[in-house]
């Protein structure tokens, strides 16, 4: 795999990474025939984001052909891997200046050391190389068909941005109300406290939209945070957003496309059913509502839940616990990644072994790095004094960050393995499962976070 | 009970937002008293949390293009509402470029102050944003709690220097100690003093004016019975909470035309801000030490 992003496109790319970083903590990378895909999913699996960059977006786009078996994949597919979002975000940290400083960016795979390499060719001949450890993984997909949606809106990005600023920063969810007469955004409260909160409604003219195709009048509630993430991207690129949605509980999708450049898809879960709000009031309050109603809403909710989106892993990867860490070529690091946790015996065993080997390789390399110039993949070392001069803090900062990243990840992993941990938000509509159910049962309670569907029982 | 007001002019909208911003900084909840020609924001802090008292008067006709009020009754043509000024401020904040803003008293599930904002759009259509801020309508028996405070007795009255300057000084003192002593005399001098175990910091201001109140009032308000005998240079001290004072000095964003501070030695300070279209009175009790 080898591709080069030209300087004029680097800003768009950086924006895309920033946008994805607002949703998920891991970045899934997959070079495909029709473009380079960058995906993420949030921790509660209620939001999915995908950027597909067209081969024409790049100066050069080369993905491994079938005979280059990069991974021990059954079907010799292109490499798929995931990296820590924070480490990738570090590379594209300064969106404002990146266009001016970076002339091109090369993304490649270093098979020898099992690293994903981001090489930034900057002005004045400075080359920054970021070697990122990755975890190979299976393809991440959101099972969602926007063609079946009853409602479709095409909105100018500016209008959406202006609509959203009326909500408070701490506002978590908003409701989109559509009918053939009006379209409006309202803020949504799980528990409304009239003394603290105020209700805000932004009414939009139908003519403000580029297109409105409303099949059914509906009110759908979704997370504002993810919408803001999407808008942070379209705000600068000024591309119209196509919103597909159906009834409450069914996912909604946002499509952004720029001909011959990129296509972005975001899938967001929506709260199931209006009645569902009943089941969200605290138990004490719920007792006052009629029992029938509650039951009806629950069954309704379950129904909705079962048929909604499903982010699927072709093969489960949750059990595969590995350390990821950003490794700067110039950073001399003594800290070791945690030992891999015991893995369930499966056909993935083989991979585990190879991963184990990768790790030890990494150690060796790390030990060597500071004084070995033979490493062709770390040109930064060659000019280290110069780098230090230019960015005196880069080493220590990154190292600290790495440490904290690793620590954070360890914590997260611990969190992850508590079975049945409910997602942070009660998006009950979502059901994420494993496409290979039999395999799912083998894995030690994979944290497919669907357990909360029956939370109210 | 009905109330409706409409703000049209951008300058008015911004100025009204600034007044609200000041009020919101001073307290969490306040009482809005609406009368036919004035709006009053009244803050009565509990004694345990500082015991400050703010009375802000806004002349309705300077801000509102349309103003309609049906009060409790013909005799008492007023409305008292308890609300969170922060909410109203938030609603106004995103409406700085609005074509108009309507503020209405409405009844949803609870009594609400509805803020309707009409924003211009790129293609000439109007975009409507509505905020519902729930309020509590105060019954008449509670109105007496929110009557205009009486002018307190004082020992010395002094026109304060530029509030921005004062705020900078107090902000620095805030980090040293939690109390500051304000002193002033009849010779146009004022000082701010704070001390810690190791340091004593005092800032002197001079050539300030000592406003003269109407002669009749003078006699009434001045505590010192024989003014002629009083040494003009004698300072009267009030020790106050530094944080509260710094918080209050945020009112400098309102650019008042005149700020007068009355000191009642060891008892309270009373600051009056005057502006063309509003006035604000602030009472802060002294800290007993």
Q: CB distance A200–B122 less than 8 Å?
A: no
Confidence of residue A256 (pLDDT cuts 50, 70, 90): very high
Strands, DSSP E only, in chain B? 2-7, 30-34, 38-44, 53-59, 66-70, 79-83, 100-107, 111-120, 126-134, 136-137, 156-159, 179-184, 190-195, 200-205, 236-241, 258-264, 268-274, 278-285
Q: Is residue B82 part of a domain?
A: yes
pLDDT at A179 over 80: yes
Percentage with pLDDT > 90 across chain A? 24
SS3 readout for B70-105: ECCCCCCCCEEEEECHHHHHHHHHCCCCCCEEEEEE
- How many whole angstroms separate alpha carbon B254 and alpha carbon B249? 10
The two most distant CA atoms of chain A are separated, in Å, by: 75
Residues 6+ apart with CB under 8 A from A389: none
**CA dist list (Å): B156 to A121, B100, B217, B245:** 71, 45, 13, 19
pLDDT at A73 over 60: no
pLDDT at B202 over 50: yes
User: Among candidates A422, A405, A408, A417, which has minimal Cα distance to A446?
Assistant: A417
User: Among candidates A343, A341, A318, A323, which has minimal Cα distance to A449?
Assistant: A318
pLDDT at A321 over 70: no
The C-alpha torsion from A383 through A386 and A388 to A391, rounded to 10°, is: -120
pTM, entire model: 0.69
**What's the pLDDT score for residue A236?**
84
pLDDT at A318 over 80: no
**What's the pLDDT score for residue B284?**
92
Query: Using alpha carbons only, what angle is made at residue A355 by residues A349 and A357, rounded to the nearest 5 degrees?
Result: 110
Pair (B170, B99) in one structural domain: no
Q: Which of A225-229, A278-282, A382-386, A411-415 has the lowest mean pLDDT?
A: A382-386
pLDDT at B203 over 70: yes
Phi, psi of B66 (to 5 degrees): -125, 145
- How many whole angstroms separate alpha carbon B282 and alpha carbon B273? 8
pLDDT at A380 over 70: no
**What's the pLDDT score for residue B238?**
93
User: Among candidates A412, A297, A326, which has minimal Cα distance to A42?
Assistant: A412
Pair (B120, B17) in one structural domain: yes
Higher pLDDT, A347 or B152: B152
Pair (B215, B92) in one structural domain: no
Instruction: Tell me the three state secondary structure of residue B158.
Output: strand
A-chain residue closest to B134, CA distance: A194
Based on the number of CB atoms within 10 Å of its own CB, is A222 exposed (0-12), middle (13-18) or buried (19 or more)?
buried
Mean pLDDT in residue range A216-243 = 90
Pair (B116, B236) in one structural domain: no
ipTM greater than 0.85:
no
Q: How far is B147 from chain A (nearest CA, A)?
A: 24
B208 to chain A, any CB pair closer than 8 A? The answer is no
Q: How does pLDDT run across A186-210, given as a tens digit for each residue?
A: 999 887 777 778 899 999 888 888 9
Q: B112, B145, B178: which is the final residue of a domain?
A: B145
**What's the pLDDT score for residue A400?**
46
Q: How does pLDDT run across A146-168, given as a tens digit for each residue?
A: 777 888 999 999 889 989 999 98
Confidence of residue B101 (pLDDT cuts 50, 70, 90): very high
Nearest to A199 among B84, B121, B132 (CB): B132
pLDDT at A232 over 60: yes
Q: What is the CATH number of domain A2-136?
A: 3.70.10.10
Q: B145, B176, B209: which is the final residue of a domain?
A: B145
Q: How far is A170 from chain B (nearest CA, A)?
A: 13
Mean pLDDT in residue range A301-313 = 40
Q: Which of A69-83, A158-172, A184-198, A274-288 has the lowest mean pLDDT?
A: A274-288
Return the axis-axis angle of helices A157-164 and A224-237, rounded to nearest 10°.
140
Instruction: Tell me the three state secondary structure of residue A344.
Output: coil
Pair (B160, B260) in one structural domain: yes
Break chain A into its structural domains and give their ranges. 2-136, 147-268, 283-456
Contacts of A163 in chain B (CB under 8 A): 127
Q: How does pLDDT run across A382-408, given as a tens digit for each residue?
A: 323 333 333 333 344 444 444 444 444
Mean pLDDT in residue range A304-325 = 38
Fold agreement between A2-136 and A147-268: yes
Confidence of residue A49 (pLDDT cuts 50, 70, 90): very high
Fold entry, domain A147-268: Proliferating Cell Nuclear Antigen (3.70.10)
Q: How does pLDDT run across A338-361, given as a tens digit for each residue?
A: 334 444 433 433 333 334 344 433
The C-alpha torsion from B157 through B159 and B164 to B165, rounded to 10°, is: -90
Q: How far is A177 from chain B (nearest CA, A)?
A: 14
- How many whole angstroms separate alpha carbon A58 and alpha carbon A256? 18
Residues 6+ apart with CB under 8 A from A258: A237, A239
Pair (B86, B161) in one structural domain: no
Query: Using alpha carbons only, what angle is made at residue A405 by residues A72 and A409, rounded to the nearest 5 degrees?
Result: 60
Percentage with pLDDT > 70 across chain A? 56
Pair (B127, B202) in one structural domain: no
pLDDT at B122 over 60: yes
**CA dist list (Å): B41 to A196, B29, B216, B261, B282:** 19, 10, 29, 20, 12
Nearest to B94 among A166, A204, A205 (CB): A166
Higher pLDDT, A386 or A184: A184
Instruction: Tell me the three state secondary structure of residue B134.
Output: strand
Mean pLDDT in residue range B146-162 = 87
Mean pLDDT in residue range A360-365 = 39
CATH number for position B33 = 3.70.10.10
First and final C-alpha spacing in chain A: 50
Size of interface A-B (CB pairs under 8 A): 54
A-chain residue closest to B126, CA distance: A205
**What's the pLDDT score for residue A455?**
42
Q: How does pLDDT run across B254-276, given as a tens digit for each residue?
A: 888 889 999 988 888 999 998 88
Q: Is residue B107 part of a domain?
A: yes
First and final C-alpha spacing in chain B: 48
**CA dist list (Å): A330 to A69, A121, A128, A160, B73:** 30, 16, 10, 43, 79
Pair (B25, B141) in one structural domain: yes
Residues 6+ apart with CB under 8 A from A390: A126
Interface test with B, best of A199, A204, A206, A208 (most B CBs within 10 A): A199
Give residue B207's domain range.
Answer: 156-268+279-285
Q: Which of A46-55, A377-386, B48-57 has the lowest mean pLDDT?
A: A377-386
- How many whole angstroms separate alpha carbon B204 and alpha carbon B192? 7
Contacts of A195 in chain B (CB under 8 A): 84, 134
**What's the pLDDT score for residue B217?**
54
Mean residue pLDDT across chain A: 67
The C-alpha torsion from A241 through A247 and A248 to A249, rounded to 10°, is: -90
B-chain residue closest to A156, CA distance: B122
Mean pLDDT in residue range B8-14 = 91
**What's the pLDDT score for residue B222?**
61
- Residue B205: count other Cβ atoms within 10 Å of its Cβ: 18
pLDDT at B243 over 50: yes
Q: CB distance A199–B131 less than 8 Å?
A: yes
Which ranges of A43-176 does DSSP label H, i.e. alpha helix? 85-91, 95-101, 157-164
Contacts of B94 in chain A (CB under 8 A): 165-166
Question: Chain A residues within 8 A (CB-CB) of chain B?
Answer: 158-159, 162-163, 165-166, 168, 194-205, 207-208
pLDDT at B57 over 50: yes
Residues 6+ apart with CB under 8 A from A137: A28, A80, A81, A82, A313, A317, A320
Pair (B114, B181) in one structural domain: no
Confidence of residue B151 (pLDDT cuts 50, 70, 90): confident
**What's the pLDDT score for residue A332?**
35
B110 to chain A, any CB pair closer than 8 A? The answer is yes
A-chain residue closest to B115, CA distance: A200
Pair (B8, B97) in one structural domain: yes
Pair (B121, B163) in one structural domain: no
Number of domains in chain B: 2
Q: CB distance A198–B127 less than 8 Å?
A: no
Q: B116, B145, B174: which is the final residue of a domain?
A: B145
Is residue B34 within 8 Å of residue B41, measured between CB atoms? no
**What's the pLDDT score for residue B224?**
56
pLDDT at B169 over 60: yes
Mean pLDDT in residue range B169-184 = 92
Pair (B108, B237) in one structural domain: no
User: Among candidates A28, A38, A95, which has minimal Cα distance to A313?
Assistant: A28
- How many whole angstroms separate alpha carbon B101 and alpha carbon B182? 41
């Amino acid at each position: 795999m080898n591709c080069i992003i030209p300087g004029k496109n680097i800003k768009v790319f950086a924006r895309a990474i920033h946008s994805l970083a607002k949703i998920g903590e891991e970045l899934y990378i997959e070079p495909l025939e029709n473009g380079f895909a960058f995906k993420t999913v949030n921790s509660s699996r209620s939001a999915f984001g995908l950027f597909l960059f067209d081969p024409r977006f790049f100066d050069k786009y080369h993905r491994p052909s079938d005979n280059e078996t990069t991974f021990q994949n059954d079907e010799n597919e292109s490499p798929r891997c995931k990296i820590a979002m924070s480490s990738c975000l570090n590379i594209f940290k300064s969106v404002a200046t990146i266009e001016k400083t970076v002339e091109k960016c090369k993304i490649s795979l270093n098979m020898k050391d099992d690293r994903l390499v981001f090489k930034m060719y900057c002005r004045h001949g400075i080359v920054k190389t970021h070697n990122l450890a990755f975890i190979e993984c299976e393809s991440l997909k959101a099972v969602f068909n926007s063609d079946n949606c009853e409602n479709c809106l095409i909105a100018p990005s500016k209008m959406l941005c202006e609509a959203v600023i009326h909500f408070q920063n701490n506002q978590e969810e908003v409701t989109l109300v559509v009918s053939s007469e009006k379209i409006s955004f309202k803020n949504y409260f799980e528990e409304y406290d009239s003394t603290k909160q105020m209700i805000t409604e932004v009414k939009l003219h139908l003519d403000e939209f580029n297109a409105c195709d409303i099949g059914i009048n509906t009110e759908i509630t979704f997370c504002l945070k993810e919408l803001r993430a999407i808008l942070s991207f379209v705000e600068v690129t000024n591309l119209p957003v196509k919103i597909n949605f159906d009834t409450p509980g069914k996912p909604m999708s946002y499509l952004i496309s720029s001909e011959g450049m990129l296509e972005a898809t975001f899938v967001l879960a929506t709260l199931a059913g209006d009645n569902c709000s009943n089941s969200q009031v605290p138990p004490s309050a719920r007792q006052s509502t009629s029992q029938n109603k509650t039951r009806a809403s629950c069954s309704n909710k379950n129904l909705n839940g079962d048929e909604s989106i499903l982010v699927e892993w072709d093969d489960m990867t949750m059990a595969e616990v590995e350390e990821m860490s950003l490794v700067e070529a110039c950073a001399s690091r003594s800290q070791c990644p945690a030992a891999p946790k015991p893995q369930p015996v499966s056909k993935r065993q083989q991979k585990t072994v190879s991963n184990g080997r990768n790790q030890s390789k990494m150690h060796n390399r790390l030990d060597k790095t500071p004084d070995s110039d033979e490493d062709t993949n770390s040109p930064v070392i060659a000019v280290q004094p110069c780098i230090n001069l230019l960015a005196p803090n880069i080493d220590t900062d990154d190292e600290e960050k790495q440490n904290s990243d690793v620590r954070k990840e360890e914590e997260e992993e611990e969190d992850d393995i508590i079975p049945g941990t409910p997602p942070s938000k009660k998006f009950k509509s979502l059901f994420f499962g494993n496409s290979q159910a039999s395999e799912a049962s083998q894995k030690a309670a994979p944290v497919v976070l669907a357990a909360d569907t029956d939370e109210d029982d | 009970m009905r109330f409706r007001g409409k703000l049209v002019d951008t300058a008015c909208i911004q100025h009204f937002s600034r007044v609200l911003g000041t009020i919101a900084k001073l307290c969490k909840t306040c009482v809005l008293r609406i009368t036919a020609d004035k709006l009053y924001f009244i803050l009565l802090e509990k004694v345990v949390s500082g015991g400050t008292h703010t009375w802000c008067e806004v002349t309705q006709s300077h801000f509102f293009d349309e103003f309609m009020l049906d009060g409790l009754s013909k005799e008492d043509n007023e409305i008292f509402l308890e609300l969170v000024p922060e909410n109203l401020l938030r609603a106004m904040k995103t409406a700085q470029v609005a074509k108009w803003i309507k503020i209405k008293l409405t009844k949803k599930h609870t009594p609400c102050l509805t803020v309707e904002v009409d924003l211009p759009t790129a293609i000439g259509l109007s975009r409507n944003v509505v905020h519902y801020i729930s309020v509590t309508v105060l019954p008449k028996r509670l109105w007496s709690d929110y009557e205009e405070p009486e002018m307190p007795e004082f020992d010395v009255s002094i026109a304060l220097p530029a509030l921005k300057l004062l705020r900078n000084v107090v902000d620095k003192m805030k980090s040293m100690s939690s109390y500051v002593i304000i002193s002033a005399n009849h010779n146009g001098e004022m000082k701010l003093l704070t001390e810690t175990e190791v340091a004593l910091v005092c800032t002197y201001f001079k050539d300030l004016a000592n406003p003269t109140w109407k002669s009749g009032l003078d006699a009434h308000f001045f505590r010192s019975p024989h003014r002629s005998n009083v040494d003009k240079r004698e300072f009267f001290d009030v020790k106050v909470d530094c944080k509260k004072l710094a918080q209050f000095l945020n009112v400098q964003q309102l650019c008042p035309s005149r700020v007068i501070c009355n000191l009642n030695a060891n008892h309270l300070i009373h600051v009056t801000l005057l502006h063309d279209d509003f006035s604000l009175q602030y009472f802060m009790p002294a800290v007993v030490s």
